[in-house]
Chains A and B, each alone.
Chain A
């Protein structure tokens, strides 16, 4: 395995690891809030990945001005995507948290196993 190349693309490797970590948390942890945190970790990892795509070493803001070459500009599209992505992620989290609130009201617990056990009213 070519380690120097892996080190060069550290952002990508880290984001993949974070994605898997988040997935692990969502699947394994019984607490609903922890599951949500796992979900947020996954979201962040994807954002990290997309922003890294657009990165240029020593790049400039993508504004047409004196003395800035277009090859020096940071790619603005991934950043715009992430802005939208963050909005989407926030709304998912908001819906999920309000569901958690209601679930806690009705079941008196946030443990997934206990909630499943108390299924039938």
Chain B
């Protein structure tokens, strides 16, 4: 559906440039409505499935919306809608006018690909959607055409392309071991396959490749460049949603395809989950430390993404129900919080051209709503109650205690402390310094930029206070996945 809109977008753009935005908005809004209408039809043990062109699995391609897929799809449509509204005014200031139709086309494409990635149950389809959103995101990083942007995009492309090829290689291994491409079919055939070494090599390749996509610690080097140099709505999109796709990839491979209670490979599976958990712990600490020493606001936010991804993956790989629920909850919390932070950074650049943190002195007085949104989202990133980030971290901690992993308890708490340092430094500059600047009135951003930012930041608070809307079903989903 959004794909059709994406294909038509450049034609509209040739006809009249202004027509692109309403057209993309219409496409995204209709898709969002369709996705949201599925809420309630899906839970931990119930799925909505559709066989493309009538072929039954495992022969045909099946679209299968399970709990995880629906969660991601709702998040993509919700955050995506907000970012699209925001980019209407913002994007004019950062990219050339003749490129605006391309921007909306790429936006719709990446939106489609992420949705497809979350709901497909065919491994090769999975790969194709992954390539679509990867290639569009390289293009989106480079869209401003500046020197640094080109460099960052090329670096991103090299690492991304290598990881994509590794995924394809791994899919080939799995196909040769099982003769199937449907995830559930592979999962059931793996139990009786004679090619266990092949399957374990494929597992390692998959995890290594998706670690690059989700910017896990040793292979995160592309993220700060690409995310800080892209136009702000694009940074928000990449940080809030695209790296989550890497997490979703790890999740799908570990739980949908391979499965936790899997006799033949369980030692490999456990050691890989352990490696991912330690890499995630390192990401938490090092991402926060790197964020503290940055002076550029957007690079700081980008490094903070590295540490937050660490939290999500740590939660998922703890193999405890609470930890898993916390990790999944952090996906929601981080998507909203981080999108909001990048949008605020974008507003500062749009209004004043400010990127340095020191230059933000006293900006809370002239732009109270923007700075307030930043403060709310920062609270969620740090994990102060009653925000969504708090609920997520609380559950991850609970999971650590459940599994007796006390080293991770220290990591989680230390990470929170470090993120408090970098977040509140900015809040301090915004509100508590630079007072007494005379004759400065209110000077806020345009409404279409302010509204999405405010909605996202209130969203982090909303999902913190009303955590019971999501948590029971997340717990159920985790219990089903871990068979506990």
Contact = CB atoms under 8 A, between A and B. Distances in A.
Chain A, interface SS category:
helix
Interface core residue of B124, B127, B169 (most chain A CB under 10 Å): B169
Contact of A102 (B138, B142, B158, B176): B142
B175 interface: yes
Interface of A: 19, 23, 26, 32, 35, 39, 42-43, 46, 49-50, 53, 77-78, 81, 84-85, 88, 91-92, 95-96, 99-100, 102-103, 106-107, 115-116, 119, 121
Contacts of A23: 162
14 contacts: A23-B162, A26-B158, A35-B158, A39-B162, A39-B165, A46-B165, A53-B175, A92-B157, A95-B139, A100-B154, A106-B147, A116-B151, A121-B147, A121-B148
Given A53-B175, A95-B139, A115-B151, 5 more contacts: A32-B154, A42-B162, A77-B175, A88-B128, A103-B154
Contacts of A81: 124
Nearest to A50: B172
Contact of B131 (A92, A96, A99, A107): A92
Contacts of B181: 77
Contacts of B157: 92, 95-96, 99
A95 B128 contact: no
Interface string B106-138: 000000000000000000100110010001001
Nearest to A51: B172
B165 A119 contact: no
A106 B142 CA distance: 13
B154 A96 contact: yes
Contacts of B164: 88, 92
Chain B, interface SS category:
helix
B161 A96 contact: yes
Contacts of A119: 148, 151
A87 B156 CA distance: 20
B162 to A, nearest CB: 6
A81 B169 CA distance: 12
Interface string B280-317: 00000000000000000000000000000000000000
